Structure 1
Amino acid sequence: MRKIKRKQKIYFPDPKFNDPLVTRFVNHLMKNGKKNLAYKIFYHAMDKIDSINSHKENNKTALEIWKEGLNNVMPHVEVRHRRMGGANIQIPVPIAPKNKVTKSIKLLITSAYKRKNEKTMSDKLASEIIDAFNSQGEAFKKKENIHKMAEANKAFSHFRF
């Protein structure tokens, strides 16, 4: 085989929740190497989710809401382009499990950045996570659009790479 398989990256657990997935999320949230700032933004967002959730009766922690929101935003199929006979064809391809998580993290963060109603990034992130938990919001719509594109091009699924 010509390709060398990449080593799996090991993520250390974060200090507060002791979860490696949180560290992975914070690494994607981080800009210009400022990891402490990214942790502050994430933890403030979790505190906001806890304060909003304390009024409701679903008895879930902020971390559980965040993980469920990530699962709701996680796409299972994506569309890849392939050139066949002078035409570009969009072929639906299932996504690998590691890439699913990465894609859902990126969808949540980019849609949180685009929010205009809230002022701080922690507010934006908290409201986007709550929207993802409730199967609403920009990130969930993007996931639905990805699935619709794959469904529309289901006829080309036999042209897999």
Structure 2
Amino acid sequence: MFDRSNVVNRKVNIESDPIYRNRLVNMLVDRILRDGKKSLAYHIFYRAMKRIKQKTNINPLSVLRQAIRRVTPDIVTESKRVGGSTYRVPVEVLPTEGKALAIRWLLLACRKRSGRSMALRSSDELMDAARNQGSAVRKKEETHKMAEANKAFAHLR
């Protein structure tokens, strides 16, 4: 079973990115990262932000923050084995864990999208998430529905 007490005590010092000076951006770039090519991940992210700026004429950082906020789950379900049965037990999510889940879901949705480049797909998904649409927001809603359906097993925490 995953022990949540270690998550609270184990704070990782996340650096900020060179252009926006934001830790959230660096967390997202680290998740885009494939095969250790961080410069390529930054390139993809900054092209996506540039496209968001062109399409919406809004600060792309605020669009990113809003997208993350809309995708961050409040509650998730964990598998708990009691006796011979496995139950999905709803558990509240810590803010840092929720943000990490939101970033993971956004990038999974970007990778599943059809499109030419990762920058285009990620800009579209971020704009959709900021408007409370898209695959990542649907994933959050499904997670909340699952937790609501299994509310009866909350006492097994």
What interval of TM-score do these two structures reach, taking the shorter chain for normalisation? over 0.9
**Structure with greater helix share of residues:** 2
Quote how far apart the aligned CAs of 1:33 are: 0.6
For residue 119 of structure 1, give the secondary structure of its aligned residue in structure 2.
Answer: coil
Aligned pairs for 1:81-160 (under 5 A) are: 81-116=79-114, 118-160=115-157
Runs of 4+, deviation exceeding 4 Å:
3-6
How many residue pairs get aligned? The number is 152
Give aligned-pair identity as a percent.
34
Selected match of 1:51 from 24, 46, 54: 54
State the match for 1:13 in structure 2. 16
Could you tell me how far apart the structure 2 residues matched to 1:149 and 1:45 are? 32
Bigger Rg, structure 1 or 2: 1
Structure 2: gaps of 5 or more residues: none
State the match for 1:26 in structure 2. 29
Structure 1: gaps of 5 or more residues: 55-59
Counterpart residue type for residue 100 of structure 2: T
Q: TM-score scaled to structure 2, two decimals?
A: 0.93
For residue 20 of structure 2, give the secondary structure of its aligned residue in structure 1.
Answer: coil
Quote how far apart the aligned CAs of 1:12 are: 1.2
Counterpart residue type for residue 45 of structure 2: F
Quote how far apart the aligned CAs of 1:7 are: 3.6
Quote how far apart the aligned CAs of 1:85 are: 2.6
RMSD after superposition: 1.4
Quote how far apart the aligned CAs of 1:21 are: 1.2
For residue 145 of structure 2, give the secondary structure of its aligned residue in structure 1.
Answer: helix
Change (3 A) 1:7 1:152: closer
Q: TM-score scaled to structure 1, two decimals?
A: 0.90
For residue 14 of structure 1, give the secondary structure of its aligned residue in structure 2.
Answer: coil
Quote how far apart the aligned CAs of 1:13 are: 1.1
Could you tell me how far apart the structure 2 residues matched to 1:134 and 1:72 are? 8
Counterpart residue type for residue 116 of structure 2: K
